Amino acid sequence: MAVIAALIFLGTLVLLICRPGRLGIGWSACLGALFALLAGVVTISDVAEVAGIVWNATLAFVAMVLVSLALEEIGFFDRASLHVIRMARGNGTWTPPRSFPAEVTR
């Protein structure tokens, strides 16, 4: 069983790195998971157990992505980058002051 798991893992890594046909990393991961389920390396109860352990971190990650998409949509990151450029005054080695968050929100 360990040999099959290692082969599935390596095959998934090859798909992730080579991206044949511009295959997305999500699809590569799903294929690896599907092969692991079909080969019996993991069971549905294993999946449920892991989901029960990591559900809160997964939801936090999804929420963070959604907030990031919303901020990008309203132009927050563009505005913040313009403030950083203005505060740098042409100095490429500028480091933010301690009051940086207060400066950006002005």
Q: What is the DSSP letter of 42?
A: S
pTM over 0.75: no
Query: What is the CB-side half-sphere exposure of residue 29 using CA atoms within 13 A?
Result: 3
Residue 28: which of 46, 15, 47 has the closest Cα? 15
Q: What is the pLDDT of residues 26-36, one digit of tens each?
A: 999 999 999 99
Tens-place pLDDT, residues 52-80: 999 999 999 999 999 999 999 999 999 98
